[in-house]
Structure formats: C-alpha cells, structure tokens
C-alpha cells in the first residue's frame, strides 16, 4: 500500500482538478432557508452522492421532510472508524449589490498582500471545507486503493436554516452512523499560519418577544404618556438584562458556569491574542462584556445575552409621531459548560412577564436551544490529529475554544456517543454569511493535505 508521501504528492499534482470540482459545487445555489431554492439543494445533494460513489463510497442522497441528507460509507479498511460531518447548504446572498462578483460564479481573486482567495458564497462555509475532506479521501483511494481507516460521510442540507431534521435522522440511523470518532470541518484556524482544534463550543438559546399594547398605532400628541408605549416597555425589559458590570441578571443564569481552569487560561495566554488585533479591524477598541474577564474569555468561556434585532413603530424616511401598537426583539443567549438552555429560557420569560403592564400582553417565539459542549483534549485521537496538523503547517496546532455554536457536535455526542475533532481551515476574515465570502486558496490546498495526514495518523 502506497504511503502518505505519495498521497500528498498526488494532492499537489491534482490540485487544479480538485479546484474544478469545488467550483462545480459552488455554482449550485443551495440556499436552504429559501423554499425557492429547494430544487438547487436537491441538485447539490445528488451531486455529492454521485461524486462519493465515483470514488468508491456506498453513497446516497436520502430524503427528509426538508432537504436531503447525503450519507456515504467506505469501511473496506476495517479497524478504527470515523464519521465526517459537513453541510452543503449556504446562507442567502443578500444584499446582492454589495458583492463585487456573482456570488455563485466562483473566481480566484488576489488580495492587496498577494494572497489568492476563492471568492463565492459557500467557499468557506462550508463547501470548500467539506470538499477538502472529500479530496483527501479521493487522493488516498487513487494512490493507495483504499482509505487508511473506515470512513462514513454525513452531509447535511439544513445547517444554515436550523437543522430541524438532523436530530431525528441521527436517532433513526444511529446504528449505521456510529463510529469511534467524529470529524467536523466547519471551524477556523487560529491564524493563517497556525492550525487549531476546537475543543469547546458555546451552546445557544434563541428567543423572540413581541410586546402588544393598544389595538392600533396611536397619535403621540393625543395619547402620549397616558397610553403604554411598547418601545419603552421593551427597552426597559432589555436594559434590565444586564447590571453595571455586564453580568446577566436572570436568576440562576450562571448555574453550571465554573471559572476557567488555570491550566487552560495559561495556554490561551500563549496565543498572542490582543484586544487591539481583535476589535481594531472592526472599528472598536474597548471590550464591552463582563468586567474582570479578558475579551478571549468573554467570547470562548463566558455566557452572553445579545440583542440581535429590535423594532417598533415608524422606521421609514422622515418622521411620524406615533406610539406603536407593538414592539419586538430577538435575543440570543450563548451558553457555556453545563448551563441549561431550557432553564434559561424559562428565567428569561419570567423576567419579561414581570415587566409587562397588566393591560398589555407579550408573545414569545422559540428559536432553538442547544447545550454547550466540551471534548477531552487528552483523548489519543485528539493528540494524533494535533500532531498531523502540526506536521503539515510547520507550527504546533493549538487547542482553542469557539464563541459560536455548532449544534451537530452535541447531537453526535448525545445520539451516537462519540467525541468530535473540530479541525477546519477557515480564517476570521473569510466573511462567512456576508457579501464577498472567500476561502484562501492555501487553506483549501493544505486543508486537503491536512485531512490526508489526519486519516493516516488515526490509522496508527
């Protein structure tokens, strides 16, 4: 059986064709949240199933109540098994006028510093990332005739629109999908030269509230002060979520939130993170969160409550003196360690109800919930993956936290009982979910090489 060096040489020699295959996927408009693109999502799933079959996987696009889920298996190697997860759906492209190119016509751009990037919707999130893993499998199959370990691949089509059908699919197919280790690519490197494995991710609890008062918008001259103003009620509710030190005031909110272990804090201190480097590029300079914690701790290991959207009354051009009939807001809580999202939802609703006048009413709408998750970086699989990444990039890979939420990690742990290695090659400036999304060309090439090394390392 040919070895790793031959596989890596093939990856470099075949890179132009790998790029062509990625471009073919990027041209498919698989926007999962918009029903108008349902057929495009199906077409993308079918493309992946056919591509996996072409390299020897037993693969199929399987229907759900929403968009299809692609499952493929190549277990000819026997021994240790891995389940790789990626998602083929993408975010909407609005506002289209802010794109410099057609978001579904991928192109290579050169940045001012000479860096070459792949510009397209989904290039980093998550098509470029998942295709890096598939290309690594393709190279092993081509050069060695088989994969180093048994691999299953699971590609979701609803990650960007809530993932409502994945938990049931995992539960119904747990015997088929069970593996020794999970692999997920939907994460970033620490910086363009330093690979990373994410070992902790925050959970999420999303809520939408609407305060209803009068049965119609009111003239503020006739009714001002006498009639309840939903905007003022809402502002009070939201302001009372925080104290003067930036802590969340909900009773029991910090239950299950320990202080960060000193050993992990020391490791993070070696990363060279600075507030100036983090906030400066977005035009800010002062950490606005919980006092007494660094910006890195605030985004990785401390819980948050963020107001994601709010509105009420006239917001068009000019001025209109009305008291609105209703006002609404969307709030997300990012959770850490053992916080219970359902207990937090209940505490938030009680917080709101206590501040709504008796002649007004409040409407709640749930927007998902998921617990935070941590993986043991002492597991041998994590050490092997870390060494494989270090070998490829020439710098020691670091274990980091993640400020976002990837619900599938908790679902894989809960339904299939497996730990998950989160190793991706995106960068903070990839503009995912924004106009002009990009993925560094070198991230794609070395991402393929990294996954080839990881597959080899896990076989040992």
- Do 75 and 190 belong together in one domain? yes
Question: What's the pLDDT band for 402 if we cut at 50, 70, 90?
Answer: confident
Question: What's the pLDDT band for 426 if we cut at 50, 70, 90?
Answer: very high
Mean pLDDT of all residues belonging to the chain: 95
Question: What's the pLDDT band for 400 if we cut at 50, 70, 90?
Answer: very high
Exposure class string for 133-162: b at 16+ Cβ within 10 A, else e: bbbbbbbbbbbbeebbbbbbbbbbbbbbbe
* Segment 172-198, tens digit of pLDDT: 999 999 999 999 999 999 999 999 999
For residue 350, the enclosing domain spans 203-257+303-370
- Do 143 and 241 belong together in one domain? no
Question: What's the pLDDT band for 261 if we cut at 50, 70, 90?
Answer: confident
Residue 96 has pLDDT above 60, yes or no: yes
Indicate the range of 100-104, 154-158, 410-414 predicted with least confidence: 410-414
- Do 18 and 131 belong together in one domain? yes
Has residue 283 been placed in a domain? no
- Do 192 and 213 belong together in one domain? no
* Segment 271-305, tens digit of pLDDT: 999 999 999 988 999 999 999 999 999 999 999 99
Has residue 291 been placed in a domain? no
- Do 53 and 98 belong together in one domain? yes
Has residue 322 been placed in a domain? yes
CA distance linking residue 458 with residue 179, whole number of Å: 13
Domain final residue pick, 351, 370, 389: 370
CATH code for the domain of 381: 3.40.630.10
- Do 313 and 445 belong together in one domain? no
Question: What's the pLDDT band for 73 if we cut at 50, 70, 90?
Answer: very high
Provide the 10 A C-beta neighbour count for residue 105: 12
- Do 397 and 413 belong together in one domain? yes
- Do 317 and 400 belong together in one domain? no
Has residue 295 been placed in a domain? no
CA distance linking residue 72 with residue 56, whole number of Å: 9
Number of folded domains that form the chain: 2
Instruction: Note the pTM of the prediction, 2 decimals.
Output: 0.84
Distances, alpha carbon 71 to alpha carbons 50, 272, 421, in Å = 11, 40, 19
- Tokens 């939408």 belong to 208
Has residue 81 been placed in a domain? yes
Residue 1 has pLDDT above 60, yes or no: no
CA distance linking residue 440 with residue 117, whole number of Å: 4
């Amino acid at each position: 059986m040919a070895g790793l060096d031959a596989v890596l040489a093939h990856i470099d020699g075949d890179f132009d064709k790998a790029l062509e295959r990625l471009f073919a996927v990027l041209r498919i408009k698989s926007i999962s949240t918009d029903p108008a693109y349902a057929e495009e999502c199906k077409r993308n799933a079918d493309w992946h199933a056919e591509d996996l079959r072409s390299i020897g996987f037993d693969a199929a696009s399987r229907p759900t109540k929403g968009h299809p889920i692609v499952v493929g298996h190549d277990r000819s190697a026997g021994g240790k098994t891995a389940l790789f997860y990626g998602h083929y759906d993408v975010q909407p492209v609005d506002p289209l006028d802010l794109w410099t190119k057609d978001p579904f016509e991928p192109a290579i751009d050169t940045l001012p510093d000479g860096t070459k990037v792949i510009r397209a919707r989904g290039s980093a999130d998550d098509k470029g990332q998942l295709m890096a893993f598939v290309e690594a499998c393709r190279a092993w199959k081509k050069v060695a005739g088989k994969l180093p370990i048994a691999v299953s691949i699971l590609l979701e089509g609803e990650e960007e629109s809530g993932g409502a059908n994945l938990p049931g699919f995992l539960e119904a197919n747990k015997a088929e999908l069970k593996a020794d280790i999970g692999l997920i690519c939907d994460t970033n490197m620490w910086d363009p030269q330093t690979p990373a494995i994410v070992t902790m991710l925050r959970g999420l609890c999303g809520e939408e509230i609407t305060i209803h008062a009068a049965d119609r918008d009111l003239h503020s001259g006739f009714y001002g002060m006498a009639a309840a103003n939903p905007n003022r009620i809402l502002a009070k509710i939201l302001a009372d979520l925080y104290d003067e030190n930036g802590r969340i005031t909900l009773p029991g909110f910090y239950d299950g939130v320990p202080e960060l272990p000193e050993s992990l804090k020391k490791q993070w201190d070696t990363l060279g993170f600075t507030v100036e480097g983090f906030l400066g590029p977005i035009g800010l300079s002062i950490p606005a969160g919980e006092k007494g914690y660094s910006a890195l701790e605030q985004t990785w290991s401390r819980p948050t409550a963020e107001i994601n959207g709010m509105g009420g009354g006239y917001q068009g051009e000019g001025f209109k003196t009305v008291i609105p009939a209703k006002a609404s807001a969307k709030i997300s809580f990012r959770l850490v360690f053992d916080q219970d999202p359902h207990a937090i939802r209940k505490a938030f609703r009680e917080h709101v109800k206590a501040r709504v006048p008796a002649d007004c009413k409040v409407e709640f709408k749930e927007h998902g919930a998921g617990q935070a998750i941590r993986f043991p970086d002492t597991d041998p699989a994590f050490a092997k993956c870390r060494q494989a990444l270090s070998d490829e990039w020439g710098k020691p890979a670091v274990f980091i936290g993640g400020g976002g939420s990837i619900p599938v990690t908790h679902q894989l742990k809960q339904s299939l009982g497996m730990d998950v290695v989160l190793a991706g090659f995106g960068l903070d400036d990839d503009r995912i979910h924004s106009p002009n999304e990009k993925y560094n060309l070198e991230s794609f090439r070395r991402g393929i090489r990294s996954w080839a090394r990881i597959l080899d390392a896990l076989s040992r």
